[in-house]
Structure 1
């Protein structure tokens, strides 16, 4: 039976802030605030009524505290909080909040071996074992970082921003850069998926991140795509903390 309890989840990233209202594990409202819309965010937080709230923030301590003051009794998401999964990670203090929240969400859904592919500023693979222990993963540059590095560290290569599917063989320098970045990331993703499937036959795969839309994923019927995976992981943590 559904209930009317509303839970506020706020994910404050470097370039934007996402705020969602959950009820019974479903998002019933979602809002996005740019860095220039902090006054709108303030009004939203003041006006929103909720049963419980959680904040994940990579912002400065000053900005994070400002948001917490607008969210009375909110839980601040951090490694030290009560978490639904265990960490087998040698440097937990360096683990990004988004990676941890994604892992929590994926394991809650899969209840078994799962790998999360987050295609954003960086391309992150994270693995949670069937016993609910986060193991780690990999990080590599995303689309824009690869384009910018070629422009920054060479004298002749231009700065481009092309995300459409690429031809295997480029006929111009720009086309070659496009093929190398988009095709290279696609090959990287495909090979990592194959590597994980070789080791873990009973495996659930989750995909999230703003740039995931630019790539094809093999065996799509066995891959779960969820652009709000991080928010869901924060919500699950909030409910776990309340129990």
Structure 2
């Protein structure tokens, strides 16, 4: 079993996983001012809540898109586990062939998602990750990472809407009873849910047109569960996808070591 940590702009996803199953997944808030000790307390608390003994954890791997706190979380994990942590980045072997103009620009989370997607699902693939941003990663039939799309996440879009429209207040992100809203709250909920569902459907159609092939579509991320059920395209929901990818990368590098 390993401790897998994904540091995102809004949340830090923490989970324990091995080849057999995912033991838990939890989310902590990403706070750039927290100290190493504060993150250590957070990690220890999550592990203890699920009654996982630290001696059962073989190691830790971290992916991060927030460089300011990567080292603090790494040191926190090492303080809790008494073991060295691996950070996904230069020098870490992933086995992923990235066909981008600048492969180094690809987010660590997208790398982990692609590694898991290739290991778990038939190619070609579109991997949707719905967090602060919504990203779509595309893997071709040769298992090459060929590119993707990035657009504002639902939370970001909703925050922008309420910040710039004085008569629209903040709402929870839940599906309304009907598409055609009968009041402001229903209209906003319908707009944010169904516009994102339509964006995913339309993006998948266009990706298939460009590739000239049908693709397997997998969605993950904190907001995917709210949108995927409203999509017309068949989309597999895999909330463990990123952790599975981190496990594959951890094992690949441990064997090489």
Q: CA RMSD in A?
A: 2.7
Segments of structure 1 that go 5 or more residues without pairing to the other structure are 1-5
Q: Which residue of 1 aligns with 2:72?
A: 63
CA separation of 1:202/1:150 partners in 2, compared to 1, >3 Å: closer, same or farther?
Answer: closer
Structure-2-length-normalised TM-score = 0.78
Instruction: State the partner residue of 2:155.
Output: 144
Change in CA separation of 1:136 and 1:79 when aligned onto 2, cut-off 3 Å = farther
What is aligned with 2:44? 42
Aligned-pair distance for 1:211? 1.4
Could you tell me which residue of structure 2 aligns to residue 208 of structure 1?
A: 220
Residues paired across the two proteins, number: 234
- Residues 65-104 of structure 1 aligned to structure 2 (within 5 Å): 65-70=74-79, 71=81, 72-104=83-115
- CA shift, 1:127, in A, is 0.5
Structure 1 contact 113–200 (Cα < 8 Å) conserved: no
Offset at residue 170 of structure 1 (A): 2.6
> Does 2:248 align with 1:236?
yes
In structure 2, stretches of 5+ residues that fail to align are: 30-37
Kindly tell me: are residues 121 and 130 of structure 1, through their superposed partners in 2, closer, same or farther at Cα, counting changes over 3 Å? same
Residues 152-161 or 186-195, more deviating: 152-161
Paired residue secondary structure (1:60): helix
Residue in 2 that maps onto 1:18: 14
Change (3 A) 1:81 1:147: same
SS in 2 for 1:139: strand
Q: Secondary structure of the equivalent of 1:26?
A: coil
Confirm whether residue 133 of structure 1 aligns to residue 127 of structure 2.
Answer: no
Over 3 Å counting, the alpha-carbon distance change for 1:200 and 1:117 in structure 2 is farther
1:233, distance to aligned residue in structure 2 (A): 0.5
Bigger proportion of residues as helix: 2
Change in 2 beyond 3 A, CA 1:239/1:37? closer
CA contact (8 A) 1:54 1:238 kept: yes
Q: Following superposition of structure 1 onto structure 2, how do residues 85-124 of structure 1 map, counting pairs within 5 Å?
A: 85-110=96-121, 112-124=123-135
Give the 3 Å change call, closer, same or farther, for CA 130–80 of structure 1 in structure 2. farther
TM-score normalised to structure 1 length? 0.82
- 1:218 aligned to 217, 232, 248, which one? 232
